[in-house]
Amino acid sequence: MNEESLQEFRDLIAARMAELDAEDHMGEAGQATVELDQQAVGRLSRMDALQNQAMAKATSARRKTERARLQAALSRMDDGEFGYCEDCGDAIAPGRLRLDPAASRCVDCASG
């Protein structure tokens, strides 16, 4: 893979990391400790708040996992292994990498 293509994928990864940072910032309030609100309508309101908190924490965990996958892709670039399947060693289709620059497996290995 040439340097121009690698830079394209580095830019895609940087853009996605920036999106993840922005999503993290927006989601911080949803993960805060749920306070007991005496003005709300009892247990159902608290249960709803707890469920929203759990969903915010799960979403944050998914963003953390995606961030780790993107960091691994950057490491593969530095090692000269980016764009090659970790299972079979074949080249990963550029279209697949444009959709998911963190992809580490070709379509055949990922689906099999």
Tell me the pLDDT band of 105, cut-offs 50, 70 and 90.
very high
Determine contact, residues 70/17, Cβ cutoff 8 Å.
yes
> 3: which DSSP letter?
H
pTM for this model (two decimals) = 0.80
> Does some domain include residue 20?
yes
State whether the Cα torsion 81-17-11-91 is positive or negative: positive
Take residue 112 and report the two structure tokens written for it: 């099999």
**Number of domains, the chain:** 1
> Does some domain include residue 101?
no
pLDDT in tens, 48-86: 878 888 898 899 999 999 999 999 999 999 999 999 999
pLDDT in tens, 2-55: 999 999 999 999 999 999 999 888 866 655 665 655 555 566 677 887 888 889
Which range of residues forms the domain containing residue 16? 3-81
> Does some domain include residue 100?
no
Give the pLDDT score at 30.
58
> Does some domain include residue 7?
yes
> Does some domain include residue 110?
no
> Does some domain include residue 33?
yes
> Does some domain include residue 27?
yes
